[in-house]
Structure 1
Amino acid sequence: MRIISSDEVDACLEDRAVLETLRKAFRSSLIAPAVPDCRIERLNGLSGNFSFQPAWSDFAGQRDVGRGYVGCSLVLDLPEAPGRSSSLYILFSGSGGQPIAMIDGMRLTIWRRAGLHALAAAYLSREDTSRLLVIGETPQLPRLLSAYLTVRRINSILLAGAGRDTLKKLSGLPALSGVHIGVTENIQEAQDGADMICIAGPESNPGQVHALDRLDPPAGCHIDVLDRNANLPGELLQEARLFSSDLSDPPDPDLEWAADLKDLTQGNKAGRRYYGQRTLYLPGRRSGLADHALAAHVFLRT
């Protein structure tokens, strides 16, 4: 069995290949059932969470067990380490069932998240999108921005709430060469000129007003939200056309969802209906299909 490290994951992945691997996965017949999480009781009334997301090739449908894989992502969240999940991906041979790879799940997750958000932007943002506003920050931001640039010709990025370390990382990112990167503290004015807005996470500067409750993007803007639990204005959620990665388990079942990535990639439902429409993407809870596709892609290239 191969043990594939984070460095090896990075070495065999690039944004365009990730995007197309995910697109093909949503068009495929991969099977990714929902499995309940396991609660882990800890001390002082706290609890952790152990989640499993299995997926496998459609062996019966393809009438062949000689090709394909069975895999599962394992994610452990403990209250003693908030916001720091530990994860692995285990890949098994579809023919003999023997384990063939154990992959750094944390690094795989970063690539998968960036790829899914970029794939959504490819279908939902306007083709002439060039100005991006990023509200908040996340360690995944360099990977995410690099993925965005594979689907849209972004020439201007405004950052609201990014820390000094994030700015330093972005300034040295080859994918952002030639892109103007600026900083703003006025989110309300900055959003007026944005073609696309990324809600990346909490701001690093506590003195800055996040003002998501007053978020009012211009007509035609695409809003990409990384945290499915983000507190977004009700008016925006009611007015924008809403999309997610997997509507078999939507982020909020009370909202009216237009389509998910399977609908969009297979052409079953439309994304943006007209130029001035506002679109909004929230990630779903399930990622078994996407994780399986990327894990198989990594295994074949290491």
Structure 2
Amino acid sequence: MRIISSDEIDACLEDRDVIETLRRAFRSNTIAPGIPEQVIERLDQAAGRLNVQPAWTNFTAQGDVTRGYVGCSLSLELPEQKTSSSSLYILFSGTGAQPIALIDGMRLGAWRSAALHALAASYLSREDTARLLVIGDNPLLPRVLSAYATTRNLTSILFAGTSAETRRKAANQPSLAKVSLGETTEIHAAQEGADMICVAGPDSERGSFHALTYLDPPVGCHVDVLDNAATIPSAFLEEARLFSSNMAAPPNPDLEWAADLFELAKGSKAGRRYYGQRTLFLPSAKTGLEDYALAAHVFLRS
């Protein structure tokens, strides 16, 4: 069995290939059943959580058992962790059942998340999207911004409430070398000129989503939400066309979702219907299909 490290993952991946790998995955008939998150009770502490997300080649539809894989992501969150979670991905041969790869799930997840949001943006943001406003901070931001630049010709990015370290890492992304990067504290004014808004996470200094209380994107703007904890104003949610990655497990079942990435990738439902429409993307917590597709991609190229 091969052990594939974070450095090896970075060495064999490129934004465009990862985005297209996920696009093909959403068009495939890969099987990715949902398994409820397991609660781990802890003495005198908040509970821990174990998330198991399997997926495998549809051997019946394929009509062949001599090729294909079975995989599973394992993520563990405990109250005393300093990071959000720890994660591994294990890939088995679909023929002999032997484990063939153990992959760094944290780095795999970072690439998957970035490509997922960029894939959604390729369907939901306007083709002439050039000006991006980033609200808040998130360690995934440099990777996500690099992926955005693969799908849209960005000319400027304004950061609001993003840490200096995250901005520095973003500036070092090769794909953003020709993009103008700046800062602003006037979020209300900045969003008026934005073609796309990324709700990345809490303000790096305040530790809250204070800016979202007056989130009011201009017509034609696409809003991409990285942090599911963000509270988006109800007025915007009622007016915008809403999308997620997997309608089998939408992030908020009470909202009216227009389509998911399965439907967008297969062309069975439309994304942006007209130029001035406001759209929003909020991913599902179910990522078994995406993790499986990317794990197989890494295994074949590393």
Q: Provide TM-score, normalisation by structure 1.
A: 0.98
| Residues 1:127 and 2:149 are matched in the alignment | no
1:253-302 superposed Cα distances (whole Å, 9 cap, x missing partner): 11000000000000000000000000000010100000000000000011
Matches within 5 A, 1:143-222: 143-206=143-206, 210-222=210-222
Query: What amino acid maps onto 2:34 in structure 1?
Result: A
CA-CA distance at 1:83 after TM superposition: 4.8
Query: What amino acid maps onto 2:219 in structure 1?
Result: A
Mark the CA change 1:209 to 1:70 in structure 2 (over 3 Å): closer, same or farther: closer
In 2, the alpha carbon distance for the partners of 1:176 and 1:186 equals 23
In 1, the alpha carbon distance for the partners of 2:169 and 2:230 equals 25
CA-CA distance at 1:12 after TM superposition: 0.5
Aligned residues: 302
Query: What amino acid maps onto 1:293 in structure 2?
Result: A
In 2, the alpha carbon distance for the partners of 1:193 and 1:155 equals 13
CA-CA distance at 1:227 after TM superposition: 1.6
**C-alpha contact (below 8 Å) 1:185/1:208 kept by paired residues:** no
Q: SS at 1:211's partner residue?
A: helix
Query: What amino acid maps onto 1:12 in structure 2?
Result: C
Q: SS at 2:151's partner residue?
A: coil
In 2, the alpha carbon distance for the partners of 1:69 and 1:292 equals 9
In 2, the alpha carbon distance for the partners of 1:212 and 1:296 equals 38
Query: What amino acid maps onto 1:48 in structure 2?
Result: G
Mark the CA change 1:207 to 1:288 in structure 2 (over 3 Å): closer, same or farther: closer
Mark the CA change 1:45 to 1:178 in structure 2 (over 3 Å): closer, same or farther: closer
Q: SS at 1:110's partner residue?
A: helix
5+ residue gaps in structure 2?
none
Query: What amino acid maps onto 1:43 in structure 2?
Result: L
In 2, the alpha carbon distance for the partners of 1:202 and 1:208 equals 5
Q: Provide TM-score, normalisation by structure 2.
A: 0.98
CA-CA distance at 1:58 after TM superposition: 0.3
Root-mean-square deviation over aligned CA pairs: 1.2
Matches within 5 A, 1:252-263: 252-263=252-263
Query: What amino acid maps onto 2:235 in structure 1?
Result: E
1:10-29 superposed Cα distances (whole Å, 9 cap, x missing partner): 00100000011000000000
In 1, the alpha carbon distance for the partners of 2:173 and 2:259 equals 33
5+ residue gaps in structure 1?
none
Q: SS at 2:150's partner residue?
A: coil
1:178-211 superposed Cα distances (whole Å, 9 cap, x missing partner): 1100100011000000000000001112299832
1:122-160 superposed Cα distances (whole Å, 9 cap, x missing partner): 000000000000000111111000000000000000000
CA-CA distance at 1:174 after TM superposition: 1.4
Mark the CA change 1:67 to 1:58 in structure 2 (over 3 Å): closer, same or farther: same
Mark the CA change 1:208 to 1:31 in structure 2 (over 3 Å): closer, same or farther: closer
The equivalent residue for 1:245 is: 245
Matches within 5 A, 1:22-61: 22-61=22-61
Structure 1 segments (4+ residues) deviating >6 Å = none
**Percent identical:** 65
CA-CA distance at 1:229 after TM superposition: 2.9
Mark the CA change 1:245 to 1:207 in structure 2 (over 3 Å): closer, same or farther: closer
